[in-house]
């Protein structure tokens, strides 16, 4: 995972192998996920969305979600520069 800060945003580059998962987490700001290559399932609010090369999706702030790579995936995540991402036990998190 690489992180760049430019102006008032953070850009995070992620790469996941086919079958890998990004564990459940929440971000404190809205996040845009842009799929550069591959395909994945974005799971949140008990729904799943199929993402593929070229997909762009807004993930609302403070919503617990996870990403499951169907194929190897490369993606960018764009967040406010003061956003944080919280992993781990989310039982006490303020999430939707």
pLDDT confidence bin for 96, thresholds 50/70/90: very low
Domain 2-87: which CATH number of 3.40.309.10, 2.30.130.30, 2.60.120.10, 1.10.10.10: 2.60.120.10
Task: Kindly report the number of other CB atoms within 10 A of residue 77's CB atom.
Answer: 21
Distance (Å, whole) CA 20 – CA 40: 10
Query: 87 CB contacts (<8 Å, ≥6 apart)?
Result: 23, 24, 25
Residue 86 has pLDDT above 60, yes or no: yes
Q: Which pLDDT score is estimated for 82?
A: 83
Predicted local distance difference test score (pLDDT) of residue 1: 56
């Amino acid at each position: 995972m690489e992180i760049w800060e430019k102006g008032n945003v953070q850009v995070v580059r992620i790469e996941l192998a086919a079958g890998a998962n990004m564990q459940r987490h929440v971000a404190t700001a809205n996040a845009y996920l842009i799929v550069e290559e591959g395909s994945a399932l974005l799971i949140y609010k008990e729904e799943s969305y199929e993402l593929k090369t070229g997909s762009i999706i807004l993930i609302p702030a403070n919503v617990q979600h996870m990403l499951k790579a169907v194929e190897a995936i490369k993606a960018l995540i764009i967040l406010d520069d003061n956003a944080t991402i919280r992993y781990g036990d989310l039982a006490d998190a303020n999430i939707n």
